[in-house]
Amino acid sequence: MGKKESNKDRMKKKKVSAIKNNLYFLRLIWGISPSRVIYNFVNVFFDFAMWTFYSVTFMQFLFGAGENMRSFTEVAIFIWFAVALSMGANTFSAWYQNCFVPRTDIQIHYELNAMLFQKVQTVDLSCYENPEFYNTYTKAAVEASERTKSVLDNCAKVMAAFLSSFFVIWTMCSITPWALVFVALPLVGNLFVGKKLGKVLYDIEQESIPAKRRMDYVNRVVYFRKYSGELRLTNVFCILRNIYKTAMEETIATARKFAFKRSFLSIVKSVLMYVLGFEGMWVCAAVLAIRGRISLSELVVLVNAIVSVSWMLNDLENALSSIFSNAFFIENLRQFFGYVPKIDESAGGKEPPQQVDSIEFKNVSFRYAGQEKYALQNINLTLYRGVRHALVGINGSGKSTLIKLLMRFYDPTEGVILLNGVDIREYDIKQYRQRIGAAFQDFALFAATVLENVLLRESEDSIDREAAVNALKNSDVYDKIQTLRYKEDTLLTREFDNEGVELSGGERQKIAIARAFAGQAPVVLLDEPSSALDPIAEYKMFEIIAQLCEGEHKLSVIVSHRMSSAAACEKIFVLENGKLLEQGSHAELLAANGTYAYMFHKQARNYQTEEGGYDV
């Protein structure tokens, strides 16, 4: 008994949240385009009103004209009135569907996405590693504008269908109370069957999700340029084709599994509606008419009204079920908009100093969300202004993680990072990040001009341009940019423009490095800035970076897995398995003859033998 009640409670809550969620979305659309909400309601109400009018009132009047001895003029005026009403409603509907909706759809689509873009930028990076959150966001983003029409239409339909079916049922019952039986029986039956059918459809959808995801993955991979090389050169396509094939077979199997139940329920539904509803009412009306209990006009109204009201109730039921399914999606959207970031970019805080003297890691440990292993463990180190620091270690040792903590993409799980002695969490995060020029290991170039790709914002004046040009010169890619048709205003990538250019891996990386210097930030973080460069270019790059950092007394950290490049830095940190193993200058570390010395000698040997003597 207790369990039943708690289930009921849950159902009740679900209903409340479905209504709440739909109202939330209506408010959201109202904020963007109030007229769309109003006209949508007007349009749907017109629809149902016309339907009710023609199937009941019009018939009642016309067939009752003889019985009620109405004059010809009266009938003519009524018909003209009906025609005018219909013309008016149709004209409005045509304007609404063809002029108004397409225009406001675009506006709503744009504004909703603008809101989503705005929000997604404030979301913690760690959220991207949480598949559940990621799905919530992508679903919300993809469906936001698609569902707009459905939410608006169905909310209006529920009200309009309820009111008009109430009116029709009332009219029918005033002719004969028997009508209630032929309306109620199919309705109750349908609610029951409809619920079961809805559950079957939901189950089919749920069971197909994993297979659909795999199909989506293959679709993406086949069309993405990033994969096209491997796809052409190798037989990897066979693997993808098999994934697709098995996924498709699973989807078909799921559809088959539910096929019988689905068709059985559909048949029951039609029997309830057509046999029990329509034909029951017709037979009943005919019997009543033969016995002289009802007039001809009443017979016509009953015959018409049962068909109309059945469809209206059907619409009402469909609209209600759409309202419920939309509520799930709106829940995603609400959760997303309601997400409170752990690292709140709008929180404000102290203004960080212009001159950064030191950055200290104090007992810093960090674990990625959902991971058991610590990516960094009890790190204690201090970085100073004017000193070039290198961070070395094999792949996965935690170098990039340390850089991400410095950027405040994540906050330490334990311990603190101090800038000039103050916990970096106390600073205004936007201003704090402005103090840092960074080039990431997994950088991305955007479909924008070279200049914008360096500045990572719009260029506002000649000072901006000069800074970007200098940065390009420093990162040794300016000569190449000069050969492009529009120089630094050339569009990168051919995404939108045939005149756009595609740069080589090394050139792309140099643009990424230019970013770190364009803002003239006091702190420079470079995560494997030279991985796409050949050894000579890499050596040159490190010299340039060294000069830049030294000349301007910057605090710099360069991550590299090539020991030889790190050797040029004054202070070297060796990470292994998330722990700080050694620190010191190149000479000190060689003298200590530990991991660094071992790795340095080993790599130097490899370079001599494997890469033809580029021993740097």
Output the smallest distance, CB 527 to Mg ion, in A.
Answer: 6
The helices-and-strands tally (H runs, E runs) of the chain is: 21, 10
**CA separation for the pair 262, 152 (Å, rounded):** 29
Binding mask 11-40 for Mg ion (x = CB under 5 A): ------------------------------
Q: Is 31 in the site for ligand ADP (CB under 6 A)?
A: no
Q: Cα separation of 307 and 179, whole Å? A: 12
In the complex with ligand ADP, which residue's Cβ is closer, 398 or 522? 398
What's the full length of the chain, in residues? 616
Nearer to Mg ion, 145 or 441 (CB): 441
In this chain, which residue has its C-beta nearest to Mg ion?
400
Closest approach of Mg ion to the CB of residue 556, in Å: 17
Q: Which is nearer to ligand ADP, 398 or 437 (CB)?
A: 398
Largest CA distance in the chain: 118
Q: Which stretch binds Mg ion (CB under 5 A): 162-170, 179-187, 241-249, 393-401?
A: 393-401
Q: Which stretch binds Mg ion (CB under 5 A): 145-153, 163-171, 275-283, 399-407?
A: 399-407
Q: Does the protein bind ligand ADP through residue 397 (CB under 6 A)?
A: yes
User: Could you tell me the smallest distance in angstroms from the CB atom of residue 528 to Mg ion?
Assistant: 6
**Among Mg ion, ligand ADP, none, partner that 529 touches (CB below 5 to 8 angstroms by kind):** none
Backbone φ/ψ region at 612: left (φ over 0), alpha (ψ -120 to 50), beta: left
Residue 35 C-beta: closest distance to ligand ADP, Å: 45
Please select the residue that binds ligand ADP; options are 43, 104, 251, 400, rule is CB under 6 A: 400
> Residues 419-448: x/- map of binding to Mg ion (CB under 5 A)?
----------------------x-------
- In the complex, minimum distance from the CB of residue 569 to Mg ion, in angstroms, rounded to a whole number: 17
Tokens of 70: 């109405």
Stretch that binds ligand ADP, among 61-69, 377-385, 399-407, 412-420 (CB under 6 A): 399-407
Site membership for ligand ADP, residue 375 (CB under 6 A): yes
Size, binding site for ligand ADP by CB under 6 A: 12
CB of residue 499 vs Mg ion: minimum separation in angstroms? 35
Q: What is the DSSP string of 51-88?
A: HHIIIIIIHHHHHHHHHTT--HHHHHHHHHHHHHHHHH
Least distance to ligand ADP from the beta carbon of 376, Å? 8
Q: Which does 368 bind (CB under 5 to 8 A by kind): Mg ion, ligand ADP, none?
A: ligand ADP
Q: Is the Cβ–Cβ distance between 398 and 580 less than 8 Å?
A: no
Q: Is 297 in the site for Mg ion (CB under 5 A)?
A: no
Beta carbon nearer to ligand ADP, 51 or 374: 374
Q: What residues from 335 to 374 belong to the interface with ligand ADP (CB under 6 A)?
A: 368, 371
Closer Cβ to ligand ADP, 280 or 398, answer by number: 398
| Partner in contact with 393, chosen from ligand ADP, Mg ion, none, beta carbon below 5 to 8 Å by kind | ligand ADP
Min separation Cβ 422 and ligand ADP, Å:
25
254 versus 441: smaller Cβ distance to Mg ion: 441
Cβ 28 to ligand ADP shortest distance, Å: 32
Contacts made by residues 60-66, CB under 8 angstroms, sequence distance 24+: 60/171, 60/297, 60/301, 62/297, 63/296, 63/297, 63/300, 63/301, 64/295, 64/297
Question: How many Cβ atoms sit within 10 Å of the Cβ of residue 467?
Answer: 19
Beta carbon of residue 467, minimum distance to Mg ion (angstroms, whole number): 28
Residue 284 binds which one of Mg ion, ligand ADP, none, with CB within 5 to 8 A depending on kind?
none
Residue 576 within binding range of ligand ADP, rule CB under 6 A = no
Rounded to the nearest whole angstrom, what is the least distance from the CB of residue 359 to ligand ADP in the complex? 18
Q: Is 270 helix (H, G, I), strand (E, B) or coil?
A: helix
Within 8 A by CB and 6+ apart from 89, the residues are 46, 47, 49, 50
Shortest reach from residue 575's CB to Mg ion, in Å: 10
Residue 501: contacted member of ligand ADP, Mg ion, none (CB under 5 to 8 Å, by partner type): none
User: From the CB of residue 497, how many other CB atoms can be counted at a distance below 10 Å?
Assistant: 12
Query: Phi, psi at residue 130, to the nearest 5°?
Result: -100, 105
Q: Smallest Cα–Cα separation from 48: which of 161, 156, 154?
A: 161
Q: Torsions phi, psi of 449, nearest 5? A: -75, 165
Out of 322, 400, 490, 583, the only residue in the binding site for Mg ion (CB under 5 A) is 400
Closest C-alpha to 371, from 404, 401, 391, 331: 401
Query: C-beta of 192: minimal distance to ligand ADP in Å?
Result: 48
CB of 367 closer than 8 Å to CB of 414: no
453 interacts with Mg ion by CB under 5 A? no
Does 396 bind ligand ADP (CB under 6 A)? Our answer is: yes
DSSP bridge partners of 574: 392, 582
d(CA 596, CA 37): 67
DSSP label of 367? -
Binding-site residue total for Mg ion (CB under 5 A)?
2
Backbone angles phi, psi at 529, to 5 degrees: -70, -10
- Rounded to an integer, what is the distance from CA 249 to the centroid of its chain? 28
Q: Which helix (H) or strand (E) holds 490?
A: none
Q: Are 312 and 164 in contact (CB under 8 A)?
A: yes
- CA–CA dist 521, 419 (Å, integer): 14
Residue 529 in contact with ligand ADP, rule: CB under 6 A? no
SS3 of 419-473: the string is ECCEEHHHECHHHHHHCEEEECCCCCCCCCEHHHHHHCCCCCCHHHHHHHHHHHH
| Partner in contact with 235, chosen from ligand ADP, Mg ion, none, beta carbon below 5 to 8 Å by kind | none
Residue 401 binds to ligand ADP (criterion: CB under 6 A): yes
Q: Interface mask (CB under 6 A) for ligand ADP, residues 108-147, using x and -?
A: ---------------------x------------------
Burial 125-163 (b: 16+ CB within 10 A, else e): ebbeeeeebeebbeebbebbbebbebbbbbbbbbbbbbe
Judged by beta carbon, residue 308 or residue 400, the one nearer Mg ion is 400
SS3 state of residue 365: strand
Q: Which range, of 152-160, 213-221, 392-400, 530-538, touches ligand ADP by CB under 6 A?
A: 392-400
| Of 65-73, 287-295, 391-399, 606-614: span binding ligand ADP (CB under 6 A) | 391-399
Binding site for Mg ion (CB under 5 A): 400, 441
Rule CB under 6 A: which residues touch ligand ADP? 129, 368, 371, 375, 393, 395-401
